[in-house]
Amino acid sequence: MTQDRIVLKWRGGGEGTIVDSDGLYATLQSTRQAAPGTPLWADVSMKSGKVVRFKVKGCKRLDEGMFVLKGRWVDLSKTMREEILTACIPAPE
């Protein structure tokens, strides 16, 4: 579980959340599937920015109709990257 969950609202429909990220690459859980190589744009509610771009490397369907997208962030500013990394730190139990 993360401290502050960042919700990605995909342009074109659907949404996703960040499962894990090292600041360059990420694993997302999404209601939308995407083929490898697909660039996705998402509107986000972050202090440091309003739009993120993500390039899909792989997509896997989960049993419950969700998808796991793996790929890399495109053009993140340093402050956006830091905010994403902070959101990926596990909350204390």
Using pLDDT thresholds of 50, 70 and 90, give the confidence band for residue 88.
confident
Domains of the chain: 7-87 (2.40.10.220)
The tens digit of pLDDT for each residue in 19-55 reads 999 999 999 999 999 999 999 999 998 888 899 999 9
Which tokens hold the place of 80? Answer: 């956006």
Q: What are phi and psi of 36, to 5 degrees?
A: -55, 135
Using pLDDT thresholds of 50, 70 and 90, give the confidence band for residue 91.
low
Residue 21's SS3 state is strand
CA distances from 45 to 10, 51, 68, 92 (A): 12, 8, 21, 23
